[in-house]
Amino acid sequence: MSVPLLKIGAVLSTMAMVTNWMSQTLPSLVGLNGTVSRAGASEKITLFQSPEEGWQLYTSAQAPDGKCICTAVIPAQSTCSRDGRSRELRQLMEKVQNVSQSMEVLELRTYRDLQYVRSMETLMRSLDARLRAADGSLSAKSFQELKGRMTELLPLSSVLEQYKADMRTIVRLREEVRNLSGSLAAIQEEMGAYGYEDLQQRVMALEARLHACAQKLGCGKLTGVSNPITVRAMGSRFGSWMTDTMAPSADSRVWYMDGYYKGRRVLEFRTLGDFIKGQNFIQHLLPQPWAGTGHVVYNGSLFYNKYQSNVVVKYHFRSRSVLVQRSLPGAGYNNTFPYSWGGFSDMDFMVDESGLWAVYTTNQNAGNIVVSRLDPHTLEVVRSWDTGYPKRSAGEAFMICGVLYVTNSHLAGAKVYFAYFTNTSSYEYTDVPFHNQYSHISMLDYNPRERALYTWNNGHQVLYNVTLFHVISTAGGP
């Protein structure tokens, strides 16, 4: 079956769902007893810990439930200074090295994805052959149902071809990085400035191409939220807990902030296991109290709303100091425009694959949600969007791949009801079920490193896995 000019949806976690259906539903319907074997142990790989301006990629070949998860966290590009050529060359060398290591991650991940899709193709052909052999033993209804299911799975062959093309692109990029690295090493050895600007442009171009490649392989549209996983029951009804979205996988520290206003005490647990057991933690006492529960930890710093103000504070954990604070222009505060549950939740900070965001409301926007991209160094607003969705009607919200997702309630029966796409300045209404087990969510944040939602639900710290649907063009279109 050919699929001309067709855009095939494929995401790794969706592949796992297909595998599950093929291994469980199909064999039972055709009278087969065969099963599909899957790797059960988590395999999380971190190739490096990069500097502030470098790349950080994390990947997991396959989770215990069969889902393949990959995450790319890519900071914004920066422009090198023309002063201090030796320092600049060293920075470029580090950047090229990081890009090279990132290419290795992408190559490994794409190769494994390719093998995964190939195994699905082989399984599909085998089941198709067995289906034909079992034709006479099936009722007409069962046969038509299975035939329809098999037809739905045939486009996987187009996805396989796209993965092959991705592999070829990655190999070419890797060769370019290798050549550029050699040129930089020669210049660094001579300590000269010849060809520096040209090399800088090549590094930036390679970063842009790798950024696009990682975004293609790592992002998608939210199509499902798993059942909740309760990690711990600790603290009051309201609060927040989180991990650093930019930390390497070896860094599994957990931060815990109980309460929604006037708090200053932040607990830092060494690992998730320590958090579960309530041991091995240190305490940070913030110089200024917080408001709400919309805090986020990003690249070693805590971003939060200063109590009784529209000021954003960036607190650095290692130095135990405030690096910068800035007023968010026009943002409401002090329960002027909170989420439906109140709790001084006027300002909510988030991190996704593309960086740091703030969700809030202004009088000028008539109480509708505003989403702004923030510079994590200066806290200046890079760009803002008016979503048109009333914030008081929202239970909570989170960002994934530049898309703001909003729940319609903080109580039982909530679902992901609204999505705003910042890349196209458009929106749509959604219907993604969201199981609110403890009936009162006061914090909901997406972690791009782990591809999971962190929630504080009525004194319980809870995790959700997400399923993203990734659209691949098989006709070379946009």
pLDDT tens-digit profile, the chain (478 residues): 433 333 333 333 333 333 343 333 333 333 333 333 333 333 333 333 333 444 444 433 344 454 444 444 444 444 334 445 666 667 677 767 666 666 666 666 666 666 766 677 777 777 777 767 766 666 777 777 777 777 766 666 666 666 667 777 777 777 777 777 777 676 666 554 445 566 667 667 666 666 565 555 568 899 999 999 999 999 999 999 999 988 887 899 999 999 999 999 999 999 999 999 999 999 999 999 999 999 999 999 999 999 999 999 999 999 999 999 999 999 999 999 999 999 999 999 999 988 999 999 999 999 999 999 999 999 999 999 999 999 999 999 999 999 999 999 999 889 999 999 999 999 999 999 999 999 999 999 999 888 899 999 999 999 999 988 865 444 443 3
Contact indicator for 266, 284 with CB cutoff of 8 Å: yes
DSSP secondary structure letters along 83-135? S-HHHHHHHHHHHHHHHHHHHHHHHHHHHHHHHHHHHHHHHHHHHHHHHHHTG
φ/ψ region of 95 (left if φ > 0, alpha if ψ in -120 to 50, else beta) reads alpha
Residue 326: φ, ψ to 5°: -155, 140
- Report the DSSP pairing between strands 452-457 and 441-447: antiparallel
Distance between CA atoms of residues 59 and 43, nearest Å = 8
Cα distances (angstroms) measured from residue 94 to each of 90, 174, 209, 281: 6, 16, 18, 33
* Residues 6 or more apart in contact with residue 372 via CB below 8 angstroms: 328, 357, 358, 359, 360, 381, 382, 383, 384, 385
SS3 336: coil
Q: DSSP state, 195?
A: T
Contact indicator for 462, 455 with CB cutoff of 8 Å: yes
If one counts every other C-beta atom within 10 angstroms of the C-beta of residue 20, the result is 15
Q: What is the C-alpha R_g of the chain?
A: 24
Residue from 384, 380, 478, 467 nearest 432 by CA: 467
